[in-house]
């Protein structure tokens, strides 16, 4: 694996950019697909349990995602900093940063898991859930939030591996976790009749197994970057760098997820069927957008490695390749999936409720047709993150939800009186505006100034 990482880095810094992009992105796409299977498996089996259980998970998932996305700032910062140190040939600094990122991530995860577990009932009631939706939501969130330390261990391993250009091992570890989840879901939900709580227990069990393997890999003496007990103690300079790069991403992502939480609350006012449809449409659209997300992640890695090596022009060319590939794929795929007959078949996999199927198919068709705008957004986000301009992605993420989406939602609901379709339209319009704004900032060349400061991080 060490040899593979060295070969990939050489390809990124000196070889064909298209080949380098594919070498990094394809395993990330597969890994993202594998991770998405956690939620898809839960959605499939909960759809058989009932609409209330399905609506409950879709309602409370943004709470979990707020924690995950705030913590993602640590992973993003780690990946960028480690990549730039490796690109500059500073392996000792890269290893010290690996240890600091792990310490920060796990401590953060444990603190958040304990807090959310305590306030879960109040959160679910605040979201407006009642009856069966409320009971299922509380049961699910209180259990599934306990997987945070396991999830962040896997995420740190993924960030460390990706910073070295190695995206295969995280993919294999997540595949193991999903296979375990696929076995536990029907066992706990249907055989033992645990419902939403069974879905949560299955996820926690699968993530714990994956985390154990990831931790063993991070501690292996054969690893190029590995955990060392004497380097896990928080160090001021490393923490400052992590905060400097990671905090904007954390704030932007968590603010975006909090916006999703309020969107879920709005959707629930149209009923549990609308909530179930909203969740199904988002999950399938996540599959469509997966290659674009992976290309954005690969762009961040390639940008950081090339910027650290003093090759910003290769970073720009890599981003343009990423945009072209992403937009073409999403446009072609969107044309197919947006056909009413196809979108209806896809959503009917997850629900037998005719009203849910009709709403979810309408939502999915609309999102799929305009999904190509995400190709611009994800690739350009990777470019700005790779050069440390996470404050730009923070503002962009926050604006996409809090300005463009809620403004569009208000106009469609209050002025045009479009009902639940106001939610569907607000999603695609806000995504398009955000992509346009980020492209304008790219054209202005703001990304060219590298914000990562390469000081000696030895504590």
pLDDT at 342: 92
pLDDT for position 2: 45
The model's pTM is 0.65
What pLDDT score does 457 carry? 45
Distance between CA atoms of 157 and 211, rounded to whole angstroms?
9
CA angle 347, 55, 287 (to 5 degrees): 40
- Cα–Cα nearest to 253, from 295, 293, 298, 200: 293
Paired tokens of 305 = 């490695």
What pLDDT is attached to residue 8?
Answer: 60
Q: Provide block-wise average pLDDT over 10 residues at a time, the chain (459 residues).
A: 52 72 74 69 69 73 75 72 72 77 83 86 79 79 85 82 69 83 81 78 87 85 71 74 71 71 80 84 81 83 79 86 90 90 89 87 91 91 84 84 90 91 91 93 81 51
pLDDT at 376 (0 to 100): 92
At 92 the pLDDT is 76
pLDDT of residue 447: 79
Look at residue 370 in the predicted model and tell me its pLDDT: 92
Rounded to 10 degrees, the C-alpha dihedral 205/115/43/372 comes to -110
Domain positions in the chain are 2-448
pLDDT at 167: 65
């Amino acid at each position: 694996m060490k040899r593979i990482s060295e070969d990939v880095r050489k390809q990124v810094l000196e070889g064909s950019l298209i080949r380098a992009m594919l070498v990094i992105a394809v395993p990330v796409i597969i890994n993202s697909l594998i991770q998405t299977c956690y939620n898809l498996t839960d959605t499939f089996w909960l759809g058989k349990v009932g609409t209330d259980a399905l609506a409950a998970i879709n309602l409370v998932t943004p709470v979990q995602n707020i924690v995950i996305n705030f913590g993602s700032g640590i992973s993003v910062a780690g990946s960028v900093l480690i990549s730039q140190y490796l690109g500059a040939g500073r392996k000792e600094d890269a290893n010290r940063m690996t240890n600091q990122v792990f310490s920060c991530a796990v401590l953060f995860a444990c603190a958040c898991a304990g807090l959310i577990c305590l306030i879960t009932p109040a959160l679910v009631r605040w979201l407006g859930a009642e009856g069966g939706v409320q009971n299922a939501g509380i049961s699910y969130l209180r259990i599934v939030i306990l997987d945070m330390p396991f999830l962040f261990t896997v995420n740190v391993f993924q960030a460390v591996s990706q910073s070295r250009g190695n995206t295969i091992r995280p993919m294999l570890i997540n595949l193991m976790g999903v296979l375990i989840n696929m076995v536990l879901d029907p066992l706990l939900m249907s055989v033992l009749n645990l419902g939403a709580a069974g879905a949560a227990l299955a996820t926690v069990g699968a993530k714990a197994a994956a985390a154990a393997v990831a931790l063993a890999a991070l501690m292996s003496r054969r690893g190029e970057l590995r955990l060392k007990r004497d380097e896990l103690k928080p160090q001021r300079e490393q923490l400052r760098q992590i905060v400097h790069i990671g905090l904007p991403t954390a704030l932007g992502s968590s603010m975006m997820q909090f916006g999703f939480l309020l969107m879920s609350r709005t959707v629930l006012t149209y009923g549990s069927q609308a909530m179930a449809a909203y969740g199904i449409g988002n999950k399938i659209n996540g599959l469509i957008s997966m290659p674009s997300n992976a290309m954005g992640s690969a762009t961040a890695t390639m940008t950081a490695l090339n910027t650290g090596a003093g090759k910003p022009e290769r970073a720009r060319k890599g981003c343009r390749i990423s945009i072209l590939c992403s937009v073409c794929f999403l446009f072609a795929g969107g044309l197919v999936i947006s056909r009413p007959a196809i979108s209806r078949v896809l959503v009917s996999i997850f629900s037998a409720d005719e009203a849910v199927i009709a709403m979810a198919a309408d939502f999915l068709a609309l999102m799929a047709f305009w999904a190509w705008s995400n190709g611009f957004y994800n690739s350009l986000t990777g470019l700005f993150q790779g050069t440390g301009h996470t404050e730009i992605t923070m503002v962009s993420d926050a604006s996409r939800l809090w300005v463009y989406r809620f403004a569009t939602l208000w106009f469609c609901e209050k002025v045009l009186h479009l009902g639940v379709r106001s939610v569907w339209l607000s999603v695609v319009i806000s995504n398009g505006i955000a992509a346009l704004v980020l492209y304008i900032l790219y054209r202005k060349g703001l990304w060219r100034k590298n914000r990562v400061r390469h000081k000696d991080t030895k504590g």
